A and B are shown apart, each in its own frame.
Chain A
């Protein structure tokens, strides 16, 4: 299992050739989003919605052994691509690893420039939601 830091490096190298080409970057993000398994309609509930995003983003999580498994979806293709990247980084990590991870890849590939302020807020809200799940499962692990 790669570490979150290693996965971020992997993402950075994947996007490296696209830096400076916004259109290609957006299309690649949409491609990645398409590969993400869609959430079942029954999971697209109000409780699973990430608040603070302009698009609709749903995120679910379950504890499998010591690690967390995430599923996510969005009603917009570009955002779904962003969700898929975060899932790639956080999936299969322990709650502590997730809490210790700082998301740095967007600025390293010039992506924070075009994620936009509103989208940036949404992006921050998504990261926060992953960490909230991590806190919840960590607490659960400690109490069991």
Chain B
């Protein structure tokens, strides 16, 4: 029995949604890789914005418009600091990683990808970091190559270097950490090898940004994207970081208001970055509230968050080892707090529903990584993913529920 520290319990108390009964049991929320819960300060920021500051931003000259604009741009500044971008103009607000990938695929693709060029993805990617590239490659006659995945869930780096060696690679898109297995990818090595071979790199930071240190200048990545809702922020907001040299050179993607400089029926000229890529009225309230989510992470510090999540992962993995027929997927030495497994003789959907009956929320299925599931010859897994507000008692609840399920059924 491991006791959760008062400090963690204190953090947990900031999340009102966690304090409830589900199907007659206290909620055990272990689906954090899908979306994290929101601290009260994020919820308050949304309410406050709509109660006090709501106005359209950037062009209004009245007081509310100024307040809203200031709050909106404050998030851009704090995000730039958060990931250590060299300037805040390199931060573009999007709906999340999916939209960020679509933006880069469409705009960068249009400007820089030609027929016969190669795009390298990894076998660990989420569908959102596969399909937009595929569509763009089809359109432009480019070729998709895939870095294979080892049995332990790590990437085959020699194979990656080999893929790069023909000099035809224009772009490499990989995730910082795998949503399905938790593997943390050696992105620095991946980026530097790509650059040596003249390719640019897009990092999907959906599973990285809330757990791992991110310094885009040290990483030297060309693009980095993340979703707000996976970092304690609201849904429907995220960001794309891009190096200025690329963002300046890329054509607009979506068009409309905000992204223009001057519109004439004969010719329209476009705004500078970041606005060039932010057509229309943005998701102001959620961007404003995202600032509070960043503050939440920064106040705790990522090392503190990662340490607790790591402890939970180790503790849960040890407890679950004894479950009859359990098979773990993703045994990399470096992992975010994702525990993916199957149980022999039990379908993951059944396990997920039986856990739900005990108030335990996990993810079951292919986790939007069908190629990866195919690599392991499975349809899907049961995935428990931990966050800073989870407790050791919750890991125990998961283990004892799984024990009961396996005993009762076999």
A interface with B by C-beta (< 8 Å) = 21-23, 26-27, 30, 54-55, 75-79, 114
Contact = CB atoms under 8 A, between A and B. Distances in A.
A67 B23 CA distance: 41
A73 B356 CA distance: 23
Contacts of B365: 54
Residue in B346, B353, B356, B365 whose Cβ sees the most chain A Cβ within 10 Å: B353
A77 B408 contact: no
Contacts of A78: 349-350, 353
Q: Give the contact-size bracket for chain B.
A: 10 to 19
A27 B347 contact: no
A26 B353 contact: yes
A23 B358 contact: yes
Interface in B349-388: 349-350, 353-354, 356-358, 365
Given A22-B23, A27-B408, A30-B409, A54 B349 contact: yes
Interface in B28-46: none
Contacts of B349: 54-55, 76, 78-79
B350 A30 contact: yes
Interface in B46-99: none
Contact of B354 (A26, A54, A55, A75): A26
B409 A75 contact: no
B347 A76 contact: yes
Name which of B349, B356, B409 has the most chain A CB atoms within 10 A of its CB: B349
A75 B347 contact: yes
Contact of B350 (A22, A77, A114): A77
A26 B357 CA distance: 8
Given A22-B24, A55-B347, A77-B347, 15 more contacts: A22-B357, A23-B354, A23-B358, A26-B353, A26-B357, A27-B408, A30-B409, A76-B350, A77-B409, A78-B349, A78-B350, A79-B349, A114-B23, A114-B356, A114-B357
Considering the complex of A and B, which 10 residue pairs feature the smallest CB-CB distances, nearest first? Answer: A23-B357, A22-B357, A76-B347, A76-B349, A77-B350, A22-B23, A76-B350, A78-B350, A55-B349, A78-B353
A23 B353 CA distance: 9
Contacts of B358: 23
A79 B350 CA distance: 8
Contacts, number: 34
Contacts of B356: 22, 114
Contacts of A55: 347, 349
Interface string B247-258: 000000000000
A12 B92 CA distance: 55
Interface of A is mostly: helix
A79 B354 CA distance: 12
Interface in B315-361: 346-347, 349-350, 353-354, 356-358
A75 B358 CA distance: 22
B404 to A, nearest CB: 9
A93 to B, nearest CB: 29
Contacts of A75: 347
A55 B23 CA distance: 23
Contacts of B350: 30, 76-78
Nearest to B347: A76
A78 B358 CA distance: 16
A30 B405 CA distance: 12
Contacts of A79: 349
13 contacts: A22-B23, A22-B24, A22-B357, A26-B353, A26-B354, A26-B357, A27-B408, A30-B409, A55-B347, A76-B347, A77-B346, A78-B353, A114-B356
A26 to B, nearest CB: 6
Nearest to A116: B353
B393 to A, nearest CB: 20
A78 B364 CA distance: 14
Contacts of B354: 23, 26
A112 to B, nearest CB: 15
A23 B346 CA distance: 16
A78 B357 CA distance: 12
Contacts of A76: 347, 349-350
Contacts of B353: 26, 78
Interface string B388-410: 00000000000000000000110
A55 B347 CA distance: 9
A2 to B, nearest CB: 29
Residue of A23, A27, A76, A78 with most chain B CB atoms under a 10 A cut-off: A23
